Chain A
Amino acid sequence: MNLFWVFLLLIIFVDLSLQNLELPVRGASPKLNEKYSKIKNQEFFKCDNGLNEYPISFINDNYCDCEDGSDEPGTSACIEMTFYCSNEGYVPEIIPSSRVNDGICDCSDGSDEWMSPNKCQNLSKEKKVRLDKQMEEEITIRREGYIAKLKLKKKTEKKSDKALQKINDLNQEIKEINKTLIQITYYQSLYTDPNKVMTEEQKTEVNSFLKLTGWERFKSFFVSSSISNQNKLQMKKSKIEDKIMILQEKIKMVDPFQTDNQSNPEDDFFYLKDTHYSWKTDDKHYDYTFYPFDKVEQRDNNDRNTVTIGRWNDKQVTDGQELYINGKRCNNGPSREVLIKYKCHKTSKIVSVKETNFCIYELIFQTPGICEDIDDDFHDQQKKEAIESEIVSKNVISTKNNNSNSGLWKIVIIVALCVMAYFAYTYYNQKNDNNGLFQKKSLKNE
């Protein structure tokens, strides 16, 4: 190191023997305090980076001595440092050192504004009470959500069983009908094959097959030609074929994923299929409608225009969110897309929609499908802490923006704009009788 520090500390000025570090050191984390407790009775301490050594009295003397800022855990003297709010009885908080003694209460226990002791109240207790209540509420919400999810799942599973039964029934029916179809084909061949001559027995059989009603039987006494029987057979055949088609359609409708009773990734949200949810912005300017497994639409209530802002892209929900892409292209911009963030709740609805970036939306949707199991005793400490920190910090996930810079759409838009501008211009000129474009010319002619 080319850093050379010269110290001229007169003993008279700084009486080292009187220094005693008071513990805990203000603004220091428990870990740091542990470190300080070891050097409590020493005269000097070393900065965290080990570079410099200073008298103990330099700790928290509201002047930044250490290059790494480690001598000032409790003041704003060192920049880019942190202050530890112990918040006894509540969750500890860590704030930037620049917020110490700036006139705003940041720590829940008010310990950051120690220069003006009466400014801040210690809200730790109240916050703890509130946090516990919030935790309880949150856990209730999640638990209820999970129960709702299980119920819905059962329903869809039941629905699946039923569907399966129905599919079997339908398949059975198709089988039955198919038999008849084969029979008809056989009879038809009797008529059409020139090498075969129909026996009376066969004729009666066909007749009895065709003439199911008394009227037909009666009719056959008068009209008994092979041609009419052939036509009848043909008619019957096409009727049966239609019926098979309808049955097959029915099977499709019952089982759109054709999953053969295997569980599929959408199972958790299966109940959302063919539903939709709407939400209005505060200013009532826009309506948003979410069609799960399909799309999200935005309706402008001023011009009554509806645009699709994102389409389902057949991907799974990961980390509680899902991106619907390829919405309508923005004027002068990219395709709209919408990030759907799922939030656990026993009922399903849109919580909010906002445009987080130019033509990029974020839709928060509460629904049971995302809920996870929370056991009764709530042993899962990690999960609990996660929920707790979520509540405490109310962390808002920052949106990350991808720059989609493709030159092509720009050109397309320029061209489109030019066309529009040109038409507007010509229209304008027509209105203004030869002013405008030709004005320059006419001036010169004058």
Chain B
Amino acid sequence: MKKIICFFLFLFFLLLCCECADQSKFKLCSQSTFCENNREIRKNGSGPRFSFVPSSAKVDENKNLFQIDLLRSDEVEPRLFVEISSVIPGVVRVKINEKDPDLNRYEVEGVLLTENFNYQNAEIVSQNEELILLRFGSEKEKHADVKLVYGSSWKIEILNSGGEPIMVLNNDSLFNFEMDKKDFLLNKQKEKEKEAEAKNSDNEKEKEEEEEEEKNQEDDQPNYEERFGGNTDSRPYGPSSVALDVIFPDTEHIYGLPEHSTKLSLEDTEEGEPFRLYNVDILEYETESRMSLYGSIPVIISKPNNQKTLHGIFWFNPSDTWIDISTQETQTKKKLFGKNSRVSKRAHWMSETGVIDLFIMTGQEGKMYQVFEMYDTLTGFPYFPPSFSVAYHQCRWSYKTQKEIQNLNEKFDEYDIPVDVFWMDIDHTDGKKYFTFDSRTYPDPKQLSKTVSDKGRKLVAIVDPHIKKENSWELYKEAQSNDYFIKKSDRKTDYEGHCWPGTSKWPDFLNQKVIEWWGSRFSYDKYEGSTSNMHIWNDMNEPAIFNGPEMSIPRDTIHLGEIEHRNIHNSYGFFVTKGTFEGLIKRNQDQNERPFILTRSFFAGSQRYSTIWTGDNMANWDQLKYTESMLLSLGLAGAPLSGEDAGGFLNNPDEELFARWFQTSAFHPFFRSHSHTDTKRREPWVFGDPYTSIIRESVKIRYSLLPFYYTQFYKASTKGKPIMRPLWLVFPEDANALNEEVENFSYMISSSMLVSPISEKNQISKDVYLPKGCWYDFHTLEKINSKGATYKIDAPLEKIPIFYRGGKIVPRKMRVRRSSHLMQNDPITLFVFLDENKKSSGSIFIDDGHSYDFKNSNKYIHQKISFQNNKLFTKTLNSNYDPALIERILIFGLEQTPKNIMDNNNQDLIFNVDESIDMITIKKPNLSIGHDWQILIQ
């Protein structure tokens, strides 16, 4: 009996262990020396104090850079300096580094769009014993003012045009710049020099003594090794962390720092774990957790209270980074009445190594989207993927045979569900050797490619960055002979780890040659079986390593130029996609085809090469719920092209969850269903009706909206505007839009549609907040005149609350076909939704959907369509492509029955009126997108 009890206790204990097993693979702040130390500094105020050296302040000859030294309070010689510049109008760069160039700290290269900046004129406006006032750019144009405050601890304020600070650096003196081990190394060097002198003096005794001393000193050498999860990080350079506090004055809401499965507005963290940015492969991640996930964008967007603008800060450091967020209430004397407190946010940035390099993007009042344009000017505008990628993607780990995909190709037609792309996960390769096909299961990939392309469909194949260690494999041999792999800490032997193929190595993407080599492997002759119809999926590029520390590569492995991996970690995935992108461009002789790439790992800048998905999510309601804030956060941090595994990658969704997931996923920029190999099959028809019908309907809605979505993709690639937007971005005056429920669980598509997903089981209606204005129910087309209130909206299983916004024109193609390609020549239906002033506007972009002709030879149509004074008219910005016929124009909310409707040739148009929903339908107006025209309603 005792034995049995013991056994059950044992099992119980194991169960407990099991539950927390995955989380324990990843560090907590307390398990990361530098994070704990910097937090300690904050608690005790024990950090080193640095102050400006006023005499060192100077602007360089070209008036590009302002420099000033920083002196540590317990030292005589300044060892650090601050460099301030403005690389883009309105963007201030603050860089802090060591003056001593002996042991260079790593500075990131190849992530920013360009390193040849067009510097703004730097000028010292005023200077006294307390401060220096700097101005970048001229008074007339967009400029930025920066105030440096002396005192016992340095402080930098970035000012808005009214002279008010929008960000304050080092306000709370949390600045830290660890140099301990370097001190030691320098001392050692000096000792050696002495030793050499001693040799010269031929005094052997002294020498012996010195040797002894040295030995003693070696014994004293602090051990900086850091152990975690059975792995030891040698940390040969010792602690080198950098940290800084940034205050966002008078700001209650700050956003960004993807990727985390938390709510959108960054919560205070000082009670618990900080937000962490360290790209890892995490299975079964939890919601509302600040643990790091697959990608990192160290950007915070601040929304100052009661202002119609956004500011941003980009902490340009790809090493392990933790951020503590806190709220500060300060008393102000300005207001005579009412509450005198002002709420500010503080971010305490802590990075393992590198330098401090910040870009502060200052938005002007009234311009909500300026910050995105600034950030993208720095790191690149989102790429413009081919149009098929805007449609629906079908994936599973794995479609194991060519036949299986051919079968899918038929099945989707049988069930009348449109689809554009079939995905090939790891099993299509020959023994997980990427760039190959398994000849037994995929005997003729080119034939497969042709079969699917006959219906206008595409393929996507997975290519991961782990290279199987197999001496007989030509690709491996090539990489090996060219010494392209990341090295162990000994700098000599290649690092080896365990991944899908077994023992593998990882190419050193920091090496430009490796990037070029990787790209060259995508050429059609080298990548046998690949076609122009096949695009690429980069997974496991954190990099993910099964037996590595925190499921990744050891930090003390070495890249080209003796750079330790810890310096670059978060940017590894970025560089992988960079290589893939360049390779896919070059594989076509004319270099004129747009690639599609999906990546799991990402960093700032990844948006210019790839679409991002949120990794290995789970099939449960909670994960569905938090998908929205994850994608919104990515959009705010400059990565608008994103989506998730619809249905949840792991575990089996029930029918309801699966259907609900499709309903919302159909509105996400990237729309793909994916599932784990151990889950039950869940192609759209598996669940049967009514679920299959609901899924079919969701996919068809997406297809009918493709002209609208494609236009948004184009706009994102030129203006950097997010496609999915929180309501407050579109309605900055509306304080209600900042409410937690509104912000996290409703979103806008561009500024034209509002989607409020159902993410709870058995929910059949939802309270949806509609900001002030006219709204039109997507399903019934009924109008709601909202004064900024919450409405209870029906949401039976068949539909989720979706609204068109009054004042917007949405182009659709109602003839949904088997794939988006087959809809290319179909006519357009314009949905014109009038606002309370009977006005509306929208735009449409059309091109061939796959080439760079729109860029290289201006072959595209971009047309603005507006409604005003009972007149619908166009303004064509460019019309160098085949015009698209308009088959129908629907006008909602005119509140009058027209006598007649005429086009610009005074031709009467056939129309009818449905008074029940205030809809005018104009039949076949004989107009097209690409020509200018106008319609008059009388």
List A residues at the B interface (Cβ < 8 Å).
Answer: 2-10, 13-14, 61-63, 65, 76-77, 79, 96, 98-99, 102-104, 282-285, 331-333, 356-358, 396, 398, 400-401, 403, 405, 414-415, 417-419, 421-422, 428-429, 432, 435-436, 439-440, 442-443
Partner of A5, one of B31, B414, B816, B912: B912
Is B668 engaged at the interface, CB distance under 8 Å to the other chain? no
A-B contact pairs, 20 of them (CB 8 A): A2-B916, A5-B912, A8-B910, A61-B924, A65-B923, A76-B815, A96-B416, A98-B816, A283-B440, A333-B680, A398-B685, A401-B681, A401-B687, A403-B654, A418-B15, A419-B11, A421-B17, A421-B21, A436-B230, A439-B228
| Cβ contacts under 8 Å, B401 to chain A | 282-283
| Cβ contacts under 8 Å, B822 to chain A | 102-104
Is B412 engaged at the interface, CB distance under 8 Å to the other chain? no
What is the bound-complex CA distance between A99 and B411, given in angstroms? 15
| Cβ contacts under 8 Å, A96 to chain B | 416
Chain A: CB-nearest residue to B814: A79
Is B862 engaged at the interface, CB distance under 8 Å to the other chain? no
B441 touches A102 (CB 8 A): no
What is the bound-complex CA distance between A7 and B822, given in angstroms? 34
Is B913 engaged at the interface, CB distance under 8 Å to the other chain? yes
Q: How far is the CB of A52 from chain B (nearest CB, A)?
A: 9
A333 touches B678 (CB 8 A): yes
A3 touches B914 (CB 8 A): yes
Is B229 engaged at the interface, CB distance under 8 Å to the other chain? yes
Q: How far is the CB of B476 from chain A (nearest CB, A)?
A: 22
| Cβ contacts under 8 Å, A79 to chain B | 814-816
B815 touches A77 (CB 8 A): yes
| Cβ contacts under 8 Å, B228 to chain A | 439
A421 touches B18 (CB 8 A): yes
B916 touches A282 (CB 8 A): no
Is B196 engaged at the interface, CB distance under 8 Å to the other chain? no
Is B911 engaged at the interface, CB distance under 8 Å to the other chain? yes
Is B143 engaged at the interface, CB distance under 8 Å to the other chain? no
The bracket for how many chain B residues form the interface is: 35 or more
Q: Top 9 A-B pairs ranked by shortest CB distance?
A: A283-B440, A418-B14, A418-B18, A435-B230, A102-B822, A358-B680, A357-B681, A436-B230, A432-B230
Chain B: CB-nearest residue to A4: B915
With a 10 A CB-CB cut-off, give which of A2, A63, A358 has the most chain B CB atoms. A358
Say yes or no: A358-B679 contact (C-beta < 8 A), given A4-B916, A103-B822, A418-B15. yes
Q: How far is the CB of B529 from chain A (nearest CB, A)?
A: 16
| Cβ contacts under 8 Å, A400 to chain B | 688
Say yes or no: A422-B17 contact (C-beta < 8 A), given A6-B897, A358-B678. yes
Q: How far is the CB of B611 from chain A (nearest CB, A)?
A: 27
Q: Residues 10-22 of chain B: 1 if any A CB is under 8 Å from the residue's CB, otherwise 0?
A: 0100110110010
A282 touches B679 (CB 8 A): no
Chain B: CB-nearest residue to A330: B678
Is B818 engaged at the interface, CB distance under 8 Å to the other chain? yes
Q: How far is the CB of A438 from chain B (nearest CB, A)?
A: 10
| Cβ contacts under 8 Å, A440 to chain B | 31
A436 touches B14 (CB 8 A): no
* Interface residue SS majority, chain A: loop
Q: How far is the CB of A446 from chain B (nearest CB, A)?
A: 9
Chain A: CB-nearest residue to B440: A283
A63 touches B924 (CB 8 A): yes
Say yes or no: A6-B230 contact (C-beta < 8 A), given A331-B678, A419-B14. no
A415 touches B11 (CB 8 A): yes
Is B590 engaged at the interface, CB distance under 8 Å to the other chain? no
Q: Residues 899-917 of chain B: 1 if any A CB is under 8 Å from the residue's CB, otherwise 0?
A: 1100000001011111110
What is the bound-complex CA distance between A13 and B455, given in angstroms? 40
Contacts of B221-241 to chain A: CB distance below 8 A: 227-232
What is the bound-complex CA distance between A14 and B823, given in angstroms? 30
Partner of B681, one of A63, A356, A405, A414: A356
What is the bound-complex CA distance between A435 and B687, given in angstroms? 48
What is the bound-complex CA distance between A405 and B441, given in angstroms? 32
Partner of A10, one of B15, B229, B908, B915: B908
Partner of A8, one of B21, B686, B911: B911
Chain A: CB-nearest residue to B232: A435
| Cβ contacts under 8 Å, B910 to chain A | 8-9, 13-14
| Cβ contacts under 8 Å, A429 to chain B | 230
Partner of B900, one of A8, A62, A422: A8
Partner of A102, one of B227, B652, B817, B923: B817
What is the bound-complex CA distance between A283 and B822, given in angstroms? 34
What is the bound-complex CA distance between A283 and B398, given in angstroms? 15
Chain A: CB-nearest residue to B819: A102
Partner of A63, one of B17, B414, B455, B923: B923
| Cβ contacts under 8 Å, A417 to chain B | 18
What is the bound-complex CA distance between A103 and B416, given in angstroms? 17
Is B219 engaged at the interface, CB distance under 8 Å to the other chain? no
Known: A283-B438, A356-B681, A418-B17. 10 other contacts (CB 8 A): A4-B916, A62-B924, A102-B817, A284-B440, A333-B680, A396-B414, A403-B654, A419-B14, A422-B17, A442-B227
What is the bound-complex CA distance between A8 and B888, given in angstroms? 16
| Cβ contacts under 8 Å, A103 to chain B | 456, 822
| Cβ contacts under 8 Å, B916 to chain A | 2-4
Is B178 engaged at the interface, CB distance under 8 Å to the other chain? no
Chain B: CB-nearest residue to A393: B414
Partner of A283, one of B227, B441, B456, B897: B441
Is B474 engaged at the interface, CB distance under 8 Å to the other chain? no
Partner of A439, one of B229, B440, B887: B229
| Cβ contacts under 8 Å, A333 to chain B | 678, 680
Contacts of B396-414 to chain A: CB distance below 8 A: 401, 403, 410-411, 414
B818 touches A102 (CB 8 A): yes
| Cβ contacts under 8 Å, B440 to chain A | 282-285
What is the bound-complex CA distance between A134 and B680, given in angstroms? 37
| Cβ contacts under 8 Å, B11 to chain A | 415, 418-419
Is B454 engaged at the interface, CB distance under 8 Å to the other chain? yes
B815 touches A98 (CB 8 A): yes
Say yes or no: A7-B18 contact (C-beta < 8 A), given A79-B814, A79-B815, A284-B440. no
| Cβ contacts under 8 Å, B818 to chain A | 98-99, 102, 104
| Cβ contacts under 8 Å, B15 to chain A | 414-415, 418
What is the bound-complex CA distance between A237 and B416, given in angstroms? 78
Q: Residues 415-456 of chain B: 1 if any A CB is under 8 Å from the residue's CB, otherwise 0?
A: 010000000000000000000001011000000000000111
B887 touches A77 (CB 8 A): yes
Chain B: CB-nearest residue to A435: B230
Q: Residues 792-827 of chain B: 1 if any A CB is under 8 Å from the residue's CB, otherwise 0?
A: 000000000000000000000011111000110010
| Cβ contacts under 8 Å, A10 to chain B | 908
A282 touches B441 (CB 8 A): yes
What is the bound-complex CA distance between A432 and B460, given in angstroms? 41
What is the bound-complex CA distance between A422 and B19, given in angstroms? 12
What is the bound-complex CA distance between A356 and B401, given in angstroms? 13
| Cβ contacts under 8 Å, A358 to chain B | 678-681
Q: Residues 615-642 of chain B: 1 if any A CB is under 8 Å from the residue's CB, otherwise 0?
A: 0000000000000000000000000000
Say yes or no: A104-B678 contact (C-beta < 8 A), given A13-B908, A421-B21. no
| Cβ contacts under 8 Å, B454 to chain A | 104
Q: Residues 342-356 of chain B: 1 if any A CB is under 8 Å from the residue's CB, otherwise 0?
A: 000000000000000
| Cβ contacts under 8 Å, A356 to chain B | 681
A99 touches B817 (CB 8 A): yes
A98 touches B680 (CB 8 A): no
Say yes or no: A7-B441 contact (C-beta < 8 A), given A98-B816, A102-B817, A400-B688. no
What is the bound-complex CA distance between A358 and B651, given in angstroms? 12
| Cβ contacts under 8 Å, B455 to chain A | 104
| Cβ contacts under 8 Å, B814 to chain A | 79
Q: How far is the CB of A174 from chain B (nearest CB, A)?
A: 53
| Cβ contacts under 8 Å, B441 to chain A | 282-283
Q: Residues 135-166 of chain B: 1 if any A CB is under 8 Å from the residue's CB, otherwise 0?
A: 00000000000000000000000000000000
B678 touches A422 (CB 8 A): no
Q: How far is the CB of B457 from chain A (nearest CB, A)?
A: 11
What is the bound-complex CA distance between A403 and B912, given in angstroms? 49
